[in-house]
């Protein structure tokens, strides 16, 4: 009993330490030359100004921020979305006056906001019955165009609004061009993946794989001529994808290119060297390059590249230092020859092989890479080795890898995870549990019900239990997401739902579900629990009150991590 109490105290100590780590990302340069950042510095995410010389931060917004826009350089106004529904992700748009620190609420119905463009005009995409583009003028909103398909908007200039989406097929994406009320869907080649369009001068720059691996191209919006941007240093790096395209104050082209879990920043094709890891945003003013940086040992920070000077770099609390002994990157061959890029995070508090947790990322269009991850550190701090695999469907490894999941959820990607787990048992893991949040929670339920002897236990957070009911409960954007994931095969909903296989469950299961989750709703999970109970299965459940899908506060993070760690302590 004494040792158990000590372990629980250790968990509480880790939670307190993780809660102290601020996380920040740079969103641009605002009036006065200060950086704009979205930061979790206190207990919630908010907008801050960040002095690039002193590193001093000043809070700008009163409440939390759900989704910020990237403002024009040196703007005194910032537009952002805020959830007004206790986590149900019904948002309203706000305009912030940087100097007065005053917020103006835009007159509109609450709706899910998925992207915002702030240029000399302001647009956003809101989802209700359809996915609609709105123009913001005079504190009110006006409909521009509506679509059934999943898409986002990315830039606006001189009357032209651009974006990209899955307009023609679940296995391709096209550019969206809107000018003077005219809507055009453009692709340089049918079946290709075209993303990240921005307007530089009077041309559109975007990434595409229409000639093979992803490269950068320029589109003339009038003639529709497409030319490749040939940059020797980018070609030499040979990235799998471009995760961020933007422009500097003087129209310099900023590109963040990714390969094997790490990224590099390029300005007009020249690499701006910095520490090894991941960059998520970058901005250029008067030759200075400001970027958001992280790696497996460095929490999200703001750095001035060229000088390699950290403007904001959080300290890792003493209790967490050294808990990650080594991070190994490996590509593990799956059942059909697909390579599954995998990060193996070894805890310094455990022998090898030892106790391990397969931590599955959400999305599925997301990735595990070389970054500081709170869930990973919480597990490593308790002596678990952590296995993070980029199953088919993950981003970061090219469109072909990402699109392999279409029409096959709880299929090939699940087999990828099983193959990785089997290949590492004995070498890394003496025993292994599986855990995940969102799509990672869904994968956990799929694994435990379709491969019931594979894992010792499982933790499923904000998971999908029943696609049929989830589809009926979803708004336009998530109905579109589900249709996209299933490639129109809605007849597969029942076959790919964990509730269909509930009777197969053998391993202990911990369910963690936000009460107000509108992406993966509570109702189907409650029915899954009811079925498990009727079948006499062993499980525990934690319903988190007044919380939505997104972890937007420190309390949200603790409410998910604490029951996970206590459960794993009991079962491993």
Q: What are the catalytic residues?
A: 438, 517, 549
Q: How far is it, in rounded angstroms, from Cα 156 to Cα 32?
A: 24
Joined together, the tokens standing for residue 552 give 């937007």
Q: Residues 30, 78: contact at Cβ < 8 Å?
A: yes
Joined together, the tokens standing for residue 531 give 């079925």
Distance of CA 247 to the CA centre of its chain: 22
DSSP per-residue string spanning 220-287: -TTT--EEE---HHHHHH--SEEEEEEE-TT-PEEEEEEETTEEEEEETTEE----SSEEEEEEEETT
Q: How far is it, in rounded angstroms, from Cα 352 to Cα 425?
A: 11
Task: Report how far apart, in Å, the C-alpha atoms of 229 and of each of 18, 23, 269 are.
Answer: 43, 34, 9
Q: Which residue has the tokens 């989704």?
A: 67
Q: How far is it, in rounded angstroms, from Cα 47 to Cα 39?
A: 6
Q: How many beta carbons lie within 10 A of that of residue 216, not counting itself?
A: 23
Task: Report how far apart, in Å, the C-alpha atoms of 343 and of each of 149, 166, 347, 360 are.
Answer: 33, 30, 13, 11
List the strands of the sheet with 140-147, edge to edge: 112-118, 122-127, 131-137, 140-147
H or E element that contains 415:
helix 412-424
DSSP state of 119: S
Q: Residues 386, 464: contact at Cβ < 8 Å?
A: no
3-class secondary structure, 335: coil
448 closest CA partner among 400, 414, 413: 414
Q: How far is it, in rounded angstroms, from Cα 108 to Cα 116?
A: 15
């Amino acid at each position: 009993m004494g040792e158990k109490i000590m372990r629980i105290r250790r968990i509480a100590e880790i939670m307190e330490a993780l809660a102290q780590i601020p996380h920040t990302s740079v969103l641009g340069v605002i009036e006065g030359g200060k950086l704009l950042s979205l930061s979790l510095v206190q207990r919630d995410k908010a907008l801050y100004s960040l002095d690039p010389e002193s590193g001093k931060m000043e809070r700008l917004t009163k409440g939390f921020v759900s989704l910020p826009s990237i403002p024009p350089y040196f703007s005194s106004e910032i537009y952002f979305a805020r959830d007004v529904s206790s986590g149900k992700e019904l948002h309203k748009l706000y305009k912030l006056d940087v100097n007065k620190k005053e917020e103006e609420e835009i007159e509109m119905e609450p709706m899910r906001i998925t992207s915002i463009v702030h240029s000399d005009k302001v647009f956003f995409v809101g989802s209700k019955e359809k996915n609609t583009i709105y123009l913001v003028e005079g504190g009110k909103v006006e409909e521009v165009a509506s679509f059934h398909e999943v898409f986002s908007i990315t830039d606006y200039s001189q009357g032209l609004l651009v974006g990209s989406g899955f307009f023609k097929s679940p296995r391709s994406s096209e550019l969206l061009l809107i000018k003077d009320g005219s809507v055009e869907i453009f692709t340089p080649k049918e079946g290709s993946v075209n993303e990240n369009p921005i307007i530089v001068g009077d041309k559109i720059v975007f990434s595409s794989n229409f000639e093979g691996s992803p490269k950068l191209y320029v589109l003339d919006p009038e003639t529709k001529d497409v030319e490749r941007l040939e940059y020797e240093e980018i070609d030499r790096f040979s990235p799998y994808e471009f995760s961020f395209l933007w422009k500097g104050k003087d129209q310099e082209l900023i590109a963040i290119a990714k390969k094997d879990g790490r990224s590099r920043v390029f300005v007009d094709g020249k690499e701006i060297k910095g520490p090894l890891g991941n960059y998520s945003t970058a901005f250029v003013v008067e030759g200075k390059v400001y970027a958001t940086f992280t790696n497996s040992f460095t929490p999200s920070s703001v750095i001035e590249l060229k000088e390699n000077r950290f403007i904001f770099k959080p300290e890792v609390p003493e209790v967490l230092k050294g808990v990650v002994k080594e991070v190994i990157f490996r590509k593990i061959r799956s059942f059909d020859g697909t390579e599954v890029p995998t990060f193996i995070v070894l805890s310094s508090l455990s022998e090898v092989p030892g106790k391990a947790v397969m931590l599955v990322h959400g999305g599925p269009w997301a990735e595990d890479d070389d970054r500081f991850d709170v869930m990973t550190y919480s597990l490593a701090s308790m002596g678990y080795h952590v296995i993070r695999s980029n199953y088919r469907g993950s981003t970061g490894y090219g469109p072909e890898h990402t699109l392999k999941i279409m029409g096959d959820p709880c299929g090939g990607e699940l087999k990828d995870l099983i193959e990785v787990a089997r290949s590492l048992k004995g070498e890394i893991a003496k025993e292994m549990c599986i855990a995940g949040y969102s799509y990672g929670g869904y994968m956990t339920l799929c694994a435990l019900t379709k491969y019931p002897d594979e894992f010792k236990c499982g933790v499923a957070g904000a998971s999908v239990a029943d696609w049929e009911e989830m589809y009926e409960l979803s708004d336009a954007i998530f109905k579109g997401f589900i249709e996209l994931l299933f490639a129109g095969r809605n007849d597969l909903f029942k076959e790919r739902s964990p509730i269909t296989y509930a009777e197969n469950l053998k391993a202990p299961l911990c369910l963690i579900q936000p009460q107000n989750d509108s992406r993966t709703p509570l109702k189907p999970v409650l029915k899954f629990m009811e079925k498990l109970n009727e079948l006499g299965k062993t499980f525990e459940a934690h319903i988190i009150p007044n919380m939505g899908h997104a972890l937007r506060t420190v309390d949200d993070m603790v409410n998910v991590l604490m029951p996970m760690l206590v459960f794993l302590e009991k079962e491993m």
